[in-house]
Amino acid sequence: MTIRVTIADDQAMVREAFSILLDAQPDIDVVATAENGAQAVEQAGQLTPDVIVMDIRMPDMDGIEATRQITSQPGVTTKILILTTFNLDEYIYDALRAGASGFLLKSASGVQLAEAVRVLARGEALLAPEITRQLIAEFSRISPAAKLPTGVRIEALTGRETEVLAHVAQGLSNAEIARKLVVAEETVKTHFGRILRKLQLRDRTQAAIFAYESGLITPGNTGNTRP
């Protein structure tokens, strides 16, 4: 299946370069480009792309607000890949909270960009385990105010689901969680799917953020969980 992508960046050369790189992939089709967040929001509504490659800083409407508006629409399945110039840019935390599924440095290669698009299109989050631990802990330190979905509580989860969520927040993969809990990897996937449904979350990144904001995991120390 072809992955439909739009690219939002205020620099024409960047838009053109990314379009050429991604269109060269047999499984990716760039259906539109946008020069600001407002255009990206409009295109998302009209074209419903699978993935939007979104610059974090743009005029008129930045990537964070555009991400928030796109992901807040009911039934939207479009994934947002945030582009940034600096690793662990402070704005990334706001973008992830707004609904982005991952981030990539603008210095990444064309191969890395294409693979990032594929990862998000599969419904996964673009955060390696070691980055998850660093990113989410720092996110919680910078943005400590909880903004959990209305009516959503950690108590909605079973004991095993809570364990799985805690491990996800610690940056463990499904395979690593399965080994820790001595269960099949497919069982972990089933538990995680239920976690997303119960907590009204989009993906692994949002689940990790929820774990910190709900107090399940102690910020700055991924080895501690709430009693």
Tens-digit pLDDT profile for residues 55-68 = 988 988 999 999 99
Integer distance in angstroms from the first to the last C-alpha of the chain?
Answer: 45
**What domains does the chain contain, in order, with CATH numbers?**
3-126 (3.40.50.2300), 140-225 (1.10.10.10)
pLDDT at 135: 63
User: pTM higher than 0.75, yes or no?
Assistant: no
CA distance 44 to 14: 19
List, for the chain, all residue ranges whose pLDDT scores fall below the cut of 70. Answer: 86-90, 126-152, 218-227
**DSSP E strands: which ranges in 56-118?**
79-84, 102-105
The burial of 3, by beta-carbon neighbours within 10 Å (0-12 exposed, 13-18 middle, 19 or more buried), is given as buried
